[in-house]
Structure 1
Amino acid sequence: MVLNANSKKARIDELAESTARSDVDAGGIKDGEGVSLIASAWERLRRNPMFIIGAVIVALIFLMAIFAPLLAPHDPTARDLIDQVSANHQVPDAQDGYPLGGDTSGRDLLSRLIYGSRNTLIIAFGATGFAFVGGLILGTLAGALGGWVDSLVMRIVDIMLSLPSLLLAFSIAAMFGRASQTTVIVAIGVAMTPTFARLLRGSMMAQRSSDHVLAARALGVKPSAIVFRHMLPNSLSPVLVQATMVFATSIIDAAALSFLGAGNPDDTSPEWGQMLGKAQDLVDAFPHMAVYPALCIIAAALGFTLMGESLREALDPKSRR
């Protein structure tokens, strides 16, 4: 019995020594430094081909907008081909120096497409920023205070969500006396605000019962500090992902408002949606006038959508692959 006990003890000592020499702990997990959520998400994003494709498309659009004066062969407002419009009563065809031809006012179509990326991104940024700030205020009030404030805010949000976003945006744009780029930004921003508000409110409601918030309350931390230091920062991840998706929606809605006649009427400042809206009467005779801006809108929306979906998968533990 003594010999058997000594052999068991020796065996246990050998196993303990082998475990100590390995880089695996008792639970079978390798010892190493922890990885933050952002670093872990980036590691998955860089291996995701959809994210890479979307990022390349978005990067090209941003570069085109930034370096528009260098890329555009002509002034987008100069009516260099007006003589051909007056003589032939048609849209100028492609020719030397004008690879895509001109529009009904004799202006270079390629230059207008390049400069149009600027105003398109301005509308997307402006509408998304407006909706983000509005949703941040409403969602924080509803998620942090609860009670009758939560009920009031959510009933307003429900009423806004009951209407299609495009119909709501068109109704808001129609309230202004004169359509402009600012009215388009405000109309789309207001229509998108309920999405951010409901998403942030749900995320903050989940944070209210989390361990770190309960611990902060037990330690006597002020309610305002709990909201802005603990609940709000940990609730922004899904909202930031949604902002990427709203970029794509804002570009499409801006084109839709221009198509319906509620967009910016000033064609001296080109924008893809505006160009598409003004080309609707020329589709039968000159389809390229609508095809080129439509392709630009589709590419931009696709790029932001691919980035948003990839980012959502990378940050959401339930959809990580």
Structure 2
Amino acid sequence: MTSRAAKIDRLAQTAVRPPDPEGDSDDGSSAGVSLAASAWRRLRRNPVFLTGATVIGLFVLLALIAPLIAPHDPGLRLLEDQVSRARNEIPPGQPGHPMGGDQYGRDFFSRMLLGSQQTLMVALLATVIGLGGGLVLGTLAGAFGGWVDTLVMRIVDVMLSIPSLLLAVSIGALFAEQTQFTVILAVAIVQIPIFARLLRGTMLGVRESDHVLAARSLGVKSRSIVFRHILPNSLGPVIVQSTLVLAIAILDAAALSFLGLGAADDAIPEWGQMLGNAQDFFDSQPHLAFWPAGCIIVVALGFTLMGESMREALDPRQRR
């Protein structure tokens, strides 16, 4: 059985791929290259991908170093004596507080920096949980087929029939106490059917490929075929989709926080939460909403640009 598995592994690795028109060898002759290598050649010259990757790189770097460069504790009301609720005034920019304070006298610049870290954490955890749930359901449907496939896909269809934001709001409202974890869980559950349907469709296509049919003809066990050949070769589109889902997760988490379904304790800032807290000051202090909203839009756009570029580069039809 070991020799049979080795033969299938070699067959999968040496499967014939269409030649890449850009895949010239060093001596000038045309040579076939892998899909990943061809995609990378396209991506590294794609200004859209480079723009998105730059935005995401700066965002991740900022989130990592935010605790080190934030000048003040985001929960301390250092400028509370300059807040006038009667005249709807908040502390302006001043030495030590370049962006002034918020409606409670907390340093706005420090809250923006630390908010990037919380926003990244919410988006990543929600995407990872949604990806994990989608992998389980998609693998069950794509590997077993039959009534298992029918049952899983009907559940997925029901979840997809509900608008994502409405479903996230409904899930978030089920919890008696709103925390950061409830936001993550609500956003993650919304993403599960997206990953499940995509993985299931990809696995159905890979299941009919030559190396899988050869494995069956050699008597390789079904479990080995699924986990060694079908599933690994089906993860590419799912991984690319996870990049796009990160953008959706950021927007959904911000929407939940804006609607009051985010963490009740705002001592630890998050951009969506800051945007929700600023809605009573749109007319007099628009910058309280402008900066978190602008950051959310730019970061979501960065993930979208990078994800769409990766999806186009990995599309075999684009290789012609």
Query: After TM superposition, is the score higher than 0.5?
Result: yes
**Structure 1 residue aligned with 2:175:** 176
**How far apart are the structure 2 equivalents of 1:30 and 1:93?**
63
Match of 2:45 among 23, 44, 47: 47
Which residue identity is paired with 2:52?
G
Q: Deviations over 1:31-68 (max 9, x none)?
A: 56653322221111100001111111101111111111
Shift of 1:90: 2.0
Distance change (3 Å), C-alpha of 1:320 and 1:272: farther
**Paired residues of 2:94 and 2:100 also in contact (CA < 8 A):** yes
**How far apart are the structure 2 equivalents of 1:165 and 1:320?**
33
Which residue identity is paired with 2:135?
L
**How far apart are the structure 2 equivalents of 1:69 and 1:196?**
33
Larger gyration radius, structure 1 or structure 2 = 1
**How far apart are the structure 2 equivalents of 1:74 and 1:213?**
58
Secondary structure in 1 matching 2:83 = helix
Which residue identity is paired with 2:51?
I
TM-score norm. by structure 2 comes to 0.88
**Paired residues of 1:265 and 1:274 also in contact (CA < 8 A):** no
Q: Deviations over 1:245-296 (max 9, x none)?
A: 0000000001110111111121111000000011111111111100000011
**Structure 2 residue aligned with 1:68:** 66
**Structure 1 residue aligned with 2:270:** 271
Equivalences for 1:172-321 in 2 at 5 Å? Answer: 172-320=171-319
Which residue identity is paired with 1:214?
L
**How far apart are the structure 1 equivalents of 2:287 and 2:199?**
42
Equivalences for 1:16-27 in 2 at 5 Å? Answer: none
Shift of 1:89: 5.0
Q: What is the RMSD computed on CA atoms of the aligned residues?
A: 1.6
**How far apart are the structure 1 equivalents of 2:140 and 2:247?**
27
Which residue identity is paired with 2:162?
L
**Structure 1 residue aligned with 2:96:** 97
Which residue identity is paired with 1:168?
L
**Paired residues of 2:271 and 2:293 also in contact (CA < 8 A):** yes
Identity of aligned residues (%): 62
Please identify, of 216-225 and 256-265, the stretch whose mean Cα deviation from structure 2 is larger.
256-265
TM-score norm. by structure 1 comes to 0.88
The size of the alignment, in residue pairs, is 293
Which residue identity is paired with 1:120?
T
Shift of 1:160: 0.3
Any unmatched runs of 5+ in structure 1? 1-28
**How far apart are the structure 2 equivalents of 1:242 and 1:124?**
14
Match of 1:38 among 30, 36, 39: 36
**How far apart are the structure 1 equivalents of 2:205 and 2:30?**
31
**How far apart are the structure 2 equivalents of 1:209 and 1:69?**
51
**Structure 1 residue aligned with 2:10:** none
Shift of 1:79: 1.3
Which residue identity is paired with 1:285?
S
**Paired residues of 1:313 and 1:320 also in contact (CA < 8 A):** no
